Every structure is written in C-alpha cells, then in structure tokens.
Amino acid sequence: MKQPFGVILAGGQATRMGGGDKCLLTLGGQTLLKRVIDRLDPQTDGVILNANGDATRFTDYDIAVVADSITGFAGPLSGVLAGLDHAADLGHSHIIT
C-alpha cells in the first residue's frame, strides 16, 4: 500500500477567536502550521494545506494550498473533500487529516 497523503485543514474562519489564521499562531517560537508540517511530512507521501482566501499568506511554508471545493465555508468536511479530490488526482486512495 502506498503511504497516505497528508491534508492539513486550516480553512475555517476562526470566528470564535476574532478571525485570522489559527495555524499561524506561535507556540514555542514556531507557528502551529510549521509544527504540523514537520510532524506530518515524514509520515506521508506529500502534504497540502486546505485553506480559503489568499493563498500567498502561506508562501513561507513551501506547501501547496487547496481551497474548499464547496463555496460558502461549508465546514471542515468541505476541506476533507477538497483534500480527497486533490489526493485522488495524484493517485492516492487514502489521506490523513
């Protein structure tokens, strides 16, 4: 079996914390996103970030950004669907989120 493909879900609006990108918050001098990428990447056959809006805010991370395929912030399952579709396009049958 091929290693699964990694999908980091970060497409939410963070309304309960006043908006913004939760994944860009820092913990111990590193963003949460960097910590997740560093741990997920060695265990998968590639990693993408599911996030909506301007993808250029993640250019420092050298990671592909895939937006939800369903419009209107439909929730985390929309991000899972976008990740599954992207992974399937690359020949993967499984993802880790």
Pairing type for strands 30-31 and 26-27 reads antiparallel
Range of the domain at 58: 5-96
Q: What is the pLDDT of residues 36-67, one digit of tens each?
A: 999 999 999 999 999 998 999 999 999 999 99
Question: Is residue 18 pLDDT above 80, yes or no?
Answer: no
Instruction: Please tell me the total count of domains within the chain.
Output: 1
Separation CA 97–CA 94 (nearest Å): 10
Residue count of the chain, please give it: 97
pLDDT on residue 13: 67
pTM for this one?
0.88
